[in-house]
Amino acid sequence: MHSLQQRDPEIFSLIQQEEVRQKEKIRLIASENYVSKAVMEATGSVLTNKYSEGYPGKRYYEGQQFIDQVESLAIQRAKELFGAEHVNVQPYSGSPANLAVYLAFLNPGDTILGMALPHGGHLTHGAKVSISGKYFHAESYALDEQTGLLNYDTIQEKAMDCKPKILIAGHSAYPRVLDFARFREIADACGALLLVDMAHFSGLVAGGAHPSPFPYADIVTTTTHKSLRGPRGAMILCKEAHAAAIDKAVFPGLQGGPHNNTTAAIAVALKEASTDTFRNYAAQIVTNARALADTLLGKGFNLVTGGTDNHLMLIDLTSKEVTGKIAAKALDAAGIVLNYNAVPYDKRKPFDPSGIRLGSAAVTSRGFKEAEMVQIGLWIDAVISNPTNTAQQAEIAAAVKELCSRFPAPGLEHLM
Ligand code: PLP
Q: Taking Cα atoms as reference points, which of 129, 137, 94 lies closest to residue 112?
A: 137
Give dist(CA 124, CA 91) in Å, integer. 14
Burial degree of 367 (CB within 10 A; 0-12, 13-18, 19+): middle
In this prediction, residue 210 carries a pLDDT of 98
The best mutation among 112, 130, 172 to test binding of ligand 1, ranked by most ligand atoms within 8 Å of the C-beta, falls on 172
CB 84 within 8 A of CB 216: no
Give the count of alpha carbons within 13 A of 101, CB side only: 32
Give dist(CA 178, CA 366) in Å, integer. 27
CB 71 within 8 A of CB 89: yes
Looking from the CA of residue 234, the nearest atom of ligand 1 is: 15
Total count of residues recorded for the chain: 416
In this prediction, residue 350 carries a pLDDT of 86
**Which candidate in 124, 221, 223, 295 is catalytic?**
223
**Catalytic (active site) residue 197:** yes
**Catalytic (active site) residue 51:** yes
The two most distant CA atoms of the chain are separated, in Å, by 62
CB 189 within 8 A of CB 160: yes
**Catalytic (active site) residue 80:** no
Residue nearest to atom 7 of ligand 1 (CA): 94
Which domains does the chain carry? Answer: 40-273 (3.40.640.10), 284-415 (3.90.1150.10)
In this prediction, residue 160 carries a pLDDT of 98
Q: Which residues have CB under 6 Å of ligand 1? A: 31, 93-95, 98, 122, 124, 170-172, 197, 199-200, 223
Residue nearest to atom 12 of ligand 1 (CA): 94
In this prediction, residue 77 carries a pLDDT of 98
Residue nearest to atom 10 of ligand 1 (CA): 94
**Catalytic (active site) residue 8:** no
In this prediction, residue 55 carries a pLDDT of 98
In this prediction, residue 387 carries a pLDDT of 97
Q: Taking Cα atoms as reference points, which of 355, 391, 362, 390 lies closest to residue 376?
A: 362
Confidence (pTM): 0.97
In this prediction, residue 30 carries a pLDDT of 98
H/E element, 340: strand 339-341
Which residues fall within 8 angstroms of residue 267, CB to CB, at 6 or more apart? 42, 70, 73, 74, 77, 89
Question: How far, in Å, is the centroid of ligand 1 from the Cα of 122?
Answer: 7
**Catalytic (active site) residue 7:** no
Which residues fall within 8 angstroms of residue 363, CB to CB, at 6 or more apart? 26, 27, 28, 288, 372, 373, 376
In this prediction, residue 360 carries a pLDDT of 98
Question: How far, in Å, is the centroid of ligand 1 from the Cα of 40?
Answer: 20
Residue pLDDT tens, the chain, 416 long? 789 999 999 999 999 999 999 999 999 999 999 999 999 999 999 999 999 999 999 999 999 999 999 999 999 999 999 999 999 999 999 999 999 999 999 999 999 999 999 999 999 999 999 999 999 999 999 999 999 999 999 999 999 999 999 999 999 999 999 999 999 999 999 999 999 999 999 999 999 999 999 999 999 999 999 999 999 999 999 999 999 999 999 999 999 999 999 999 999 999 999 999 999 999 999 999 999 999 999 999 999 999 999 999 999 999 999 999 999 999 999 999 999 999 999 999 989 999 999 999 999 999 999 999 999 999 999 999 999 999 999 999 999 999 999 999 999 988 87
**Catalytic (active site) residue 229:** no
β-pairing, 193-197 with 137-141?
A: unpaired
- For 150, which DSSP code? B
Give dist(CA 194, CA 169) in Å, integer. 7
**Ramachandran angles phi, psi of 240, nearest 5°:** -55, -35
Residue nearest to atom 9 of ligand 1 (CA): 94
β-pairing, 26-27 with 86-88?
A: unpaired
